[in-house]
A and B are shown apart, each in its own frame.
Chain A
């Protein structure tokens, strides 16, 4: 039996408690332990607005995060990406195709905590807007859905995998993201 499964579930429940207990305002007083938080940042069907917000948050936080984060996978930031065990996977975007579903399932297996980033990942919209098109529009887009192997309906992340934390917003709510990241830094003993 894969004990990692139980471990990962246990940690996930803990992180929510820790986040409630710590909160954003406590994190800066903590000291680095020398460990790094292994993260992945993944984008699926979306406008990547939250990726841009993340790069804007770096303006103020890059010096604090550079020594704390081990970026295992982030297509937007680096070429050498490794899809292996992660502490936290941040996933933005809705899932438009089976290849997206397969990839997030793989990420779910590898990540202890999965965070849905932004409206498209959390509620599916607006990327999943074709789900609610009227019949005429549905018919109009059918050739493309077929040609590029779309799923019949685009999915929010929780329709494909278990999501531990939602960071809603279009783009993502910055305070909620910071609260989540700071909670993870504490939970994984990156700062103490």
Chain B
């Protein structure tokens, strides 16, 4: 075997936020392999302290642009839990719809703009050729699906980024009948495009087998908001007990924290959800994707892309169902039943399980808060997989560019979000652990 010496330090592209690859190979052995999250922190853990709890969700939405409505929803759940607020049935439906709009839009962004160019040997989505019938279809499908998800987000949350309608206790605005009708039409019209998306990723021959534990919030029916935290290793964790089960890991060169469960790394996200809960998807989704779903449970990390495509269809079918069967009426915000307390919000954000915890005092201000984001939970797996991939490639004497491409493809399959991950770092300083 040719004993390769190689160093590679590059910025990772087509992902959310800033991260670097840092790889060193000496005499054919990987001596350094780091997935460094290089996004600078903005100190939300400190900034939230002393804020009015009512204003907290919209502040924490600013942790991340693409996941903003997930942070918004999770923070609202935590505040409502702390203040003894039981949201109305309509508010719960609108929270579900917020998550459906978010997942349709965000998954489509990842699948088309980030992941798909790799499958076609292209650098950027705009390199697709509009004069080629197949590529023409892909270009149109991408923006049509994204637009439908965006529109759903706008009529429910007010905006697809930093939605203004969801509040602690309810929604400030409800969609009109005309808006609801238009959303149904837009969603139904892109269903064939979503099926084509599923097919594209189902036919992909990208493969990276990874034995790991999968963890997600699981409910029946499939939900991004309810349930218990389940793993395929047989774990069953109640939302309120989450902190006892996630072990924080310091990664010295990264601006983000890693997590393990029972001493082992694990994976969260669409692949974990579909592996654990495919039987609970919307009946129409299950019927349409009967064959596709037979591929799950899967340990092929690239099937995270396929799982996202499946989820787009589920979100679409579920959203149409709710929109067709709900007459939205303006409701007052539900008042708190407690003046102070600690609350927990756990939801499935597009990239995996998101945890928000908040303590509120009698003045209605935040005393402290704690947030664990999906990418932090996947970070250790990502790095371990990178090292294994490099070792697999070394006998082929790869160029730096080909190594970078293969590593980036794998990292993109995890769909990491560095804007989220960088904001909840714990740092070891002279023997003490500091949460910042």
Contact = CB atoms under 8 A, between A and B. Distances in A.
B123 A49 contact: no
A59 B143 contact: yes
A33 interface: no
Residue of B41, B113, B405 with most partner-chain A CB within 10 A: B41
A106 B234 CA distance: 54
Given A60-B147, A62-B143, A130-B47, A148 B40 contact: yes
A79 B408 CA distance: 10
The A interface, classified by DSSP as helix, strand, loop or mixed, is mixed
A58 B65 contact: no
A170 B66 CA distance: 13
A78 B143 contact: no
Contacts of A53: 65, 161
Interface string A56-71: 1011101000100001
Interface residues of B, number: 50
B146 interface: yes
Interface in B1-57: 11, 13-18, 39-43, 46-47, 49
Contacts of B14: 75-79
Interface string B229-263: 00000000000000000000000000100000000
Given A56-B146, A137-B46, A75 B11 contact: yes
A168 to B, nearest CB: 14
Given A47-B65, A47-B419, A127 B124 contact: no
B427 A143 contact: yes
Contact of A77 (B39, B124, B130, B404): B124
B155 interface: no
A150 interface: yes
Contact of A140 (B109, B113, B436): B436
Interface in A114-158: 126-127, 129-130, 133, 137, 140-141, 143-144, 147-148, 150
Contacts of B130: 66
A130 B139 contact: no
A57 to B, nearest CB: 10
B42 A52 contact: no
Interface in B401-434: 404-405, 408, 419, 425, 427, 429, 434
Contacts, number: 138
A76 B436 CA distance: 27
A126 B161 contact: no
A48 B66 contact: yes
For B62, B123, B130, B405, the residue with the greatest tally of chain A CB atoms inside 10 Å of its CB is: B62
B429 A143 contact: yes
Interface residues of A, number: 44
B160 interface: yes
A187 interface: no
A137 B146 CA distance: 40
Contacts of A49: 62, 65-66, 68, 161-162
12 contacts: A48-B17, A48-B65, A49-B68, A51-B65, A55-B146, A56-B160, A59-B147, A76-B16, A77-B125, A127-B42, A129-B47, A141-B436
Interface of B: 11, 13-18, 39-43, 46-47, 49, 59, 62-66, 68, 105, 109, 113, 123-126, 130, 139, 143-144, 146-147, 150, 159-162, 255, 404-405, 408, 419, 425, 427, 429, 434, 436
8 smallest A-B Cβ distances: which pairs? A49-B65, A78-B124, A96-B40, A59-B147, A52-B65, A79-B13, A47-B65, A48-B65
Given A43-B18, A48-B64, 6 more contacts: A56-B150, A59-B150, A71-B124, A79-B404, A80-B124, A96-B42
